[in-house]
Each structure stands twice: as structure tokens, then as C-alpha cells.
């Protein structure tokens, strides 16, 4: 479905491209041996290179290069065996060198593609223009002093991957889906933790509007939006602002803007005359980065299974729906958990229990799957008890809840609480006789055509057996007895 | 090649160098001279020659292993800070 916005002069389309800044998972920085850990004492994870001391020379981190290549492969992108580093020059207090080492003309990764899925089940291919390596900047604290900003360089020099999309995105929903998919791919690959709260993944959003069939109009860039929800909000608000500008006879200036979620507006950020005059030039301290195809192949051979592939495999291997499979592969840990339960068991049944009561219990306890008090072995054990007839599905829910509370093994709970399914037909028949005798009026009504009353009898027998009766046997016995 | 005054002012501004009108004129003339001198290179025929990216065409970019080998030197890092505040550098307030 096409997303459009209504202006005073008619219908507008939006055109969006995203630049994702993803902090590379590595021990040390891109060009120095200082630590990348988040949350350290200010200015303790800083080398003299990061602080821009004169005469210090950058030496590139091999692992950061590997991470960029892995990410490129995960985005089905072309890997450039030769790439180069340039200096992007600007003055800002978070950038002690006065320039950022980045890759301008020759990025390490060329064009790739990300497939997104929308809420109506349709999919779209969003092009990736390029991925390049660059240095992160330091952090400024503005609220510590009335007249001064404080500078912490711990983050300065940490490796970033800037991943630029084509202007293929046409709605806020698509932008959100793209970011979620990007985050999922990065997390699967282990190249970025995707943590937007800590700023290890951030997005710059390029937005323009146009009437149907027009070429692109001027775009604005909204810098550093730090949550998926804010990205979708910012796109809508900025698009409406541009429509108003065009419709009132003005023209949109190409500029950098800031999204203010509290006020629900975007504001101009930098004065136009200085914007984008970065005077890039090749960094004379760094030779071209040349990598061997053999190494790229080796990295490729060791890539983990990616979410799209895993999802397709789950559908064929375990016979589960596209929807369930999508839910289960959202996080690698979840997918691993599912597989260890489903191996040698009924895949559909496992999926139903995991996406149903198990996730509900996790949500209720506020736990991530890694911290689940019920491990894959215990959930699997519980499913086995259902399969072999020890308990029925209703009782299993109770067992699962108890497992979450006490951490006991499923069979232990069944024994301790006496929850074994009653398959003893004698006991069930006795209960059925009693209930039929006590409810003769209902028996008449049922035989007179009120079919729904059958459920009442089943319910009563289950109640009489504390929910432990085998429902199939209860059905059989009741039918025989009532119909005679 | 002669450099115009506006371009010279712009370069000075981007470099955060404050120059008065007389200084701007001096710098304009000097930079024009440098550019003119460099333009001599345009006389060399480089048709079909790949751009030179370093003086050493044979050495590969050196790479280091991913290990923490530096840091924990807050005092060294802050040694030249003109207005240190505890563990921080400080600068006149920059708010976007």
C-alpha cells in the first residue's frame, strides 16, 4: 500500500534514505589501542592518538576491518578489496583532531540490499549504497556547568560503520522495518550490539517530499535520531513541514536539522554557509587498505546463519508458519532456544508453546530469554510429558507457571502436586455418571438439540477430576453415556 | 592562479583563523602564489597513470591485532587542557 500525506494542494509522497551509524564490536578502537568499553570513568579510555596529540600516528585495527567485511557480506554487498581513508575536516569540541578519519571516495563495502517485511505481510528490497569505516567522536556534557561544556573522549576513535541506504524508503513504517532488520542482521553477525539507548546504533534520516511521478525534490537531513520510534515520528513531522513550505510558495533548503521529540518538531541545526564543506582529502598517515579475496572468502565461510535464511529453514525443517518463524528468529538467542527444544520433538507444538505461554511468562517476569528460569531442557521435558500423556495441555500451563516460580523440573512438579493425567476410565466414568445424574434437565435439553451443552458436561467432569482427566477420554465416555 | 578575496575569507573562516583586511590581502597574494606554483604540475601528462596514493607503493597498510594496549592515562591526556575540570576537558558552552 502506498503511503501518502494530504496537503492543501493534493497528495504527496515521501522519499527517505537512512544513514545508520553502527558502533563496531571490538576490544580496542579503530586506530588506537584504547578500550571501547561503554561507561568508563571519563577520559580513561583515551590514547594520545584519540586525543589528537601532535605526531601520533594511527594504526588500523584488523578486527574492525573484519567486522566491516562481515557486515558487508551479511548485507549481500560487494566488498572492495582496496579502499582508502580520507580526512573529513570540521571543528567541533568533540573532535580533538579537527578531522574525522573516514572513507569518502573509496569505501570498503559497495552496494547491497536489505529485505524488509511490512505489517500487511508484503516485502520490499531496500538498496544499500555503501558501508564505510570511520571514527566515532567524543561526548559533550552540556548540563554540568552554566558556561562550559565538558568533554569526555572515551568514545572518540571507536570504530563506526556508516551504512547508507538508497532513497528507496517510502513510509515511516518502512523506515522502522529497515532499522529493525538492520539491527537484527548486525546482532546476528555480532558486528554491532544495536543498542540504541547507549548510542551504539544511531540514524541520520534524509527526508524529501514530492508529488506522484515527480523526480526527487530537495532533501533535509535529520541528525542523530536515537530510537526507531523517533525516526518514524521525525519523518512524518519533517515531511509535513516540507509540504507546508512548498505549498506556501517557498522552497525547502538542503540543510541539517535536529528532531526535538518533546516539542514534536525539527529545527535547523547548522548555518547553511558552512554546511557540508568538509574539504575531504586522502589521509596522508594511512596507505590504502588492501584485503585479499581469500580472507574475504574465509570470513564468508564462517558467517553465522542470517535471519532470513534461518526463518526459511525453520519453516521447511520444523513445518511452522512464516509468522511464527519470524517471531522466533527475531533474536538469535530465541532461535537457538527454539531449536534446542524442537530438536527431536514436534516443531509446531514447540512453536505454539514458545510463542504463547512461554513468551507470556517471560514478559510477565520481565526477563530476556537468556535469563529465563525455565531452560530449553525443562520446556522440552514439559512438552514430552504432554506427548506421552502424563499431563494434558491445561495442566501443562500450570506446570509451566510453577517452573517459572520454583525452577523445578516438570516431572517433579507433576509428582509433587499430583497432576498426572487421569486416564483411568473407571474414575472418569464414575465422575461422568454422577454429573449426568445430577443434571438430568440439561441432559434433556442437550438431547433436544442444545449441542453447546456438551461443553458443560466436559467442563464438569474436568472440574471433578481437578483438570487432570484426559480430554479425549472424557469426550468419548460422555458421548457414550448420554447417547446411551 | 589568483585567489579572490571571498574565497580567501572563507578558507580562513573554515580554518578558524581570524584575519583583518590587510592580513587577508597578504594571505590572498601568498596563497595565490602557492597555487600558481603547484599548477606547474598540470603540465605533466598523467594520461593512463593511476593516482598516486602514497610514497610507498610496495608497502601494505600495517594492521594491529585487536587488543587493549593503551588508555588509563587520564593525566597525560588532560596535561595540556587549559581549563580542566576534574576528569574533563572543558570548552566554552556549545549548544546546538
- The arithmetic mean of pLDDT across residues A324-353, rounded, is 94
- Contact flag A269-B96 (C-beta cutoff 8 Å): yes
A242: contact with B, CB 8 A cutoff: no
Give pLDDT tens digits for A178-206.
Answer: 999 999 999 999 999 999 988 899 999 99
**Phi first, then psi: what are they for B95, rounded to 5°?**
-125, 135
Residue to mutate among B77, B79, B83, B86, with most A CBs inside 10 A, is: B77
- Contact flag A61-B54 (C-beta cutoff 8 Å): no
At B33, is the pLDDT very low, low, confident or very high (cuts 50, 70, 90)?
Answer: very high
User: Would you kindly state where each structural domain of chain A is located, as residue ranges?
Assistant: 5-297, 305-417, 425-483
Q: Which residues of B touch A (CB under 8 A)?
A: 13-14, 16, 53-54, 56, 59-74, 76-78, 83, 85-96
Chain B residues touching A48 at Cβ < 8 A: 73, 76-77
Q: What is the pLDDT of residue A62?
A: 98
Q: How many CB pairs under 8 A join A and B?
A: 135
Q: What is the pLDDT of residue B45?
A: 93
Cell of B51: 593516482
- Least CB-CB distance to A290: which of B60, B77, B78? B60
- Least CB-CB distance to B59: which of A35, A64, A287? A287
- Contact flag A34-B74 (C-beta cutoff 8 Å): no
Chain B residues touching A62 at Cβ < 8 A: 63-66
Distance to chain A for B10, nearest Cα, Å: 9
A104: contact with B, CB 8 A cutoff: no
Start-to-end CA distance of chain B, whole Å, equals 39
pLDDT surpassing 60 at residue A320? yes
Q: A299-325 in b/e burial notation, b at 16+ Cβ within 10 A?
A: beeeeeebbbebbeebbeebebeeebb
Q: What is the pLDDT of residue A458?
A: 87
Beta pairing, strands A60-61 & A99-102: unpaired
Burial class for A40, CB neighbours closer than 10 Å (0-12, 13-18, 19+): middle
A100: contact with B, CB 8 A cutoff: no
Q: What percentage of chain A has pLDDT greater than the value 70? A: 98
Distance to chain B for A82, nearest Cα, Å: 11
Cell of A461: 467432569
- Contact flag B63-A290 (C-beta cutoff 8 Å): no
pLDDT surpassing 90 at residue A317? yes
Give pLDDT tens digits for A215-255.
Answer: 999 999 999 899 999 999 999 999 999 999 999 999 999 98
Give pLDDT tens digits for A257-266.
Answer: 999 999 999 9
Range in A73-77, B35-39, B59-63 the model is least confident about = B59-63
CATH of domain A425-483: 1.10.10.410
Cell of A51: 586525543
At A480, is the pLDDT very low, low, confident or very high (cuts 50, 70, 90)?
Answer: confident
Domains of chain B: residue spans and CATH: 5-41 (1.10.20)
Q: How far is residue A220's CA from residue A133's CA, in Å, rounded to a whole number?
A: 24
- Contact flag A61-B63 (C-beta cutoff 8 Å): yes
The answer to whether A395 and A402 have CB atoms below 8 angstroms apart is no
Give pLDDT tens digits for B39-58.
Answer: 999 999 999 988 777 676 66
**8-state DSSP, A272:** G
- Least CB-CB distance to A149: which of B56, B65, B90? B90
Q: What is the pLDDT of residue B56?
A: 67
Distance to chain A for B78, nearest Cα, Å: 8
- Least CB-CB distance to A51: which of B60, B77, B88? B77
Q: What is the pLDDT of residue A469?
A: 83
Residues in chain A: 484
Q: For residue B74, what are the CA distances in angstroms to A52, A55, A152, A440?
A: 14, 19, 11, 87
Residue to mutate among A25, A46, A81, A290, with most B CBs inside 10 A, is: A46
Q: What percentage of chain A has pLDDT greater than the value 90? A: 75
- Least CB-CB distance to B93: which of A33, A84, A147? A147
pLDDT surpassing 90 at residue A32? yes
pLDDT surpassing 90 at residue A134? yes
Packing angle of the helix pair A440-447, A453-464 (nearest 10 deg): 140
pLDDT surpassing 90 at residue A147? yes
In this structure, how many other beta carbons lie within 10 angstroms of the beta carbon of residue A371? 9
SS3 sequence of A432-467: HHHHHHHCHHHHHHHHCCCCCHHHHHHHHHHHHCCC
- Least CB-CB distance to A150: which of B13, B73, B85? B85
Question: In chain B, which residue's Cα lies nearest the Cα of A47?
Answer: B71
Q: For residue A261, what are the CA distances in angstroms to A176, A207, A269, A443?
A: 16, 17, 15, 64
Give pLDDT tens digits for A56-115.
Answer: 999 999 999 999 999 999 999 999 999 999 999 998 899 999 999 999 999 999 999 999
Q: ipTM above 0.95?
A: no
- The arithmetic mean of pLDDT across residues A423-427, rounded, is 80
Q: How far is residue A143's CA from residue A150's CA, in Å, rounded to a whole number?
A: 9
Residue to mutate among A149, A221, A260, A290, with most B CBs inside 10 A, is: A149
Q: If we measure between CA atoms, which residue out of A303, A284, A91, A13 comes closest to residue A186?
A: A303
- The arithmetic mean of pLDDT across residues A348-374, rounded, is 93
- Contact flag A60-B62 (C-beta cutoff 8 Å): yes
Packing angle of the helix pair A307-318, A332-342 (nearest 10 deg): 20
pLDDT surpassing 60 at residue A273? no
- Least CB-CB distance to B88: which of A33, A51, A152? A152
- Least CB-CB distance to A28: which of B67, B88, B95? B67
Cell of B77: 591526556
Q: If we measure between CA atoms, which residue out of B94, B4, B10, B9 comes closest to residue A273?
A: B10
Task: Return mean pLDDT, chain A.
Answer: 92
Chain B residues touching A276 at Cβ < 8 A: none
- The arithmetic mean of pLDDT across residues A112-132, rounded, is 95
- Contact flag B63-A35 (C-beta cutoff 8 Å): no
The answer to whether A71 and A189 have CB atoms below 8 angstroms apart is yes
- Least CB-CB distance to A48: which of B54, B69, B76? B76
Q: Cell 569540541 sits at which residue?
A: A93
Distance to chain A for B22, nearest Cα, Å: 24
Chain B residues touching A34 at Cβ < 8 A: 68, 70-71
pLDDT surpassing 80 at residue B95? no
The answer to whether A108 and A132 have CB atoms below 8 angstroms apart is yes
pLDDT surpassing 80 at residue A271? no
- The arithmetic mean of pLDDT across residues B55-83, rounded, is 90
Higher pLDDT, B56 or A136: A136
Q: Which of residues 281-310 of A touch B (CB under 8 A)?
A: 282, 284, 286-290
A56: contact with B, CB 8 A cutoff: no
**8-state DSSP, A106:** S
Q: How far is residue A473's CA from residue A431's CA, in Å, rounded to a whole number?
A: 12
Burial class for A234, CB neighbours closer than 10 Å (0-12, 13-18, 19+): buried
Amino acid at each position: 500500500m502506498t503511503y501518502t500525506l494530504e496537503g492543501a494542494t493534493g497528495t504527496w509522497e515521501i522519499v527517505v534514505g537512512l544513514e545508520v551509524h553502527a558502533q563496531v564490536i571490538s576490544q580496542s578502537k579503530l586506530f588506537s589501542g584504547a578500550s571501547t568499553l561503554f561507561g568508563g570513568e571519563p577520559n580513561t579510555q583515551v590514547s594520545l592518538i584519540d586525543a589528537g596529540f601532535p605526531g601520533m600516528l594511527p594504526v588500523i585495527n584488523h578486527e574492525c576491518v573484519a567486522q566491516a567485511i562481515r557486515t558487508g557480506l551479511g548485507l549481500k554487498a560487494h566488498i572492495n578489496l582496496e579502499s582508502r581513508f580520507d580526512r573529513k575536516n570540521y571543528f567541533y569540541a568533540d573532535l580533538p583532531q579537527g578531522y574525522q578519519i573516514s572513507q569518502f571516495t573509496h569505501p570498503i563495502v559497495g552496494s547491497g540490499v536489505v529485505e524488509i517485511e511490512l505489517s500487511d505481510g508484503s516485502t520490499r528490497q531496500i538498496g544499500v549504497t555503501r558501508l564505510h569505516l570511520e571514527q566515532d567522536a567524543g561526548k559533550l556534557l552540556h548540563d554540568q556547568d552554566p558556561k562550559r561544556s565538558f568533554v569526555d573522549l572515551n568514545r572518540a576513535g571507536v570504530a563506526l560503520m556508516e551504512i547508507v541506504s538508497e532513497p528507496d524508503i517510502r513510509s515511516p513504517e518502512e523506515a522502522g522495518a529497515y532499522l529493525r532488520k538492520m539491527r537484527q542482521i548486525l546482532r546476528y553477525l555480532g558486528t554491532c550490539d544495536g543498542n540504541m539507548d547507549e548510542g551504539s546504533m544511531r540514524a541520520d534520516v534524509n527526508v524529501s517530499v514530492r508529488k506522484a511521478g515527480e523526480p526527487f525534490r530537495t532533501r533535509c537531513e535529520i541528525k542523530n535520531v536515537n530510537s526507531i520510534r523517533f525516526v518514524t515520528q521525525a519523518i512524518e513531522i519533517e515531511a509535513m513541514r516540507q509540504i507546508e513550505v512548498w505549498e506556501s510558495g517557498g522552497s525547502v533548503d538542503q540543510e541539517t536539522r535536529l528532531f526535538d521529540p518533546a516539542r514534536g518538531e525539527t529545527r535547523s541545526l547548522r548555518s547553511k554557509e558552512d554546511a557540508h564543506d568538509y574539504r575531504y582529502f586522502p589521509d596522508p598517515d594511512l596507505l590504502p587498505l588492501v584485503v585479499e579475496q581469500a580472507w574475504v572468502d574465509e570470513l564468508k565461510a564462517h558467517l553465522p546463519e542470517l535471519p532470513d535464511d534461518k526463518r526459511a529453514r525453520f519453516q521447511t525443517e520444523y513445518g511452522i508458519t512464516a509468522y511464527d518463524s519470524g517471531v522466533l528468529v527475531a533474536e538469535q538467542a530465541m532461535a537457538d532456544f527454539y531449536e534446542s527444544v524442537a530438536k527431536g520433538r514436534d516443531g509446531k507444538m514447540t512453536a505454539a508453546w514458545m510463542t504463547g505461554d512461554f513468551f507470556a511468562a517471560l514478559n510477565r517476569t520481565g526477563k530476556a530469554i537468556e535469563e529465563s528460569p525455565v531452560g530449553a531442557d525443562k520446556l522440552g521435558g514439559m512438552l514430552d510429558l504432554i506427548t506421552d500423556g502424563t499431563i494434558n495441555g491445561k495442566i501443562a500451563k500450570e506446570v509451566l507457571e510453577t517452573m517459572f516460580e520454583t525452577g523445578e523440573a516438570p516431572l517433579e512438579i507433576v509428582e509433587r502436586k499430583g497432576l498426572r493425567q487421569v486416564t483411568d476410565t473407571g474414575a472418569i466414568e464414575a465422575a461422568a455418571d454422577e454429573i449426568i445424574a445430577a443434571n438430568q434437565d440439561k441432559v434433556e435439553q442437550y438431547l433436544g438439540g442444545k449441542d453447546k451443552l456438551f461443553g458443560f458436561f466436559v467442563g464438569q467432569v474436568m472440574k471433578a477430576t481437578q483438570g487432570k482427566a484426559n480430554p479425549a477420554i472424557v469426550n468419548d465416555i460422555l458421548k457414550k453415556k448420554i447417547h446411551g | 592562479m589568483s585567489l579572490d578575496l571571498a574565497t580567501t575569507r572563507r578558507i580562513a573562516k573554515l580554518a578558524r583563523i581570524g584575519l583583518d583586511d590587510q592580513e587577508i590581502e597578504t594571505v590572498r597574494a601568498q596563497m595565490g602564489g602557492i597555487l600558481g606554483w603547484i599548477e606547474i604540475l598540470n603540465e605533466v601528462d598523467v594520461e593512463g597513470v593511476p593516482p598516486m596514493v602514497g610514497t610507498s607503493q610496495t608497502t601494505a597498510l600495517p594492521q594491529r591485532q585487536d587488543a587493549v594496549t593503551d588508555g588509563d592515562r587520564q593525566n597525560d591526556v588532560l596535561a595540556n587542557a587549559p581549563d580542566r575540570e576534574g576528569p574533563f576537558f572543558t570548552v566554552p558552552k556549545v549548544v546546538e
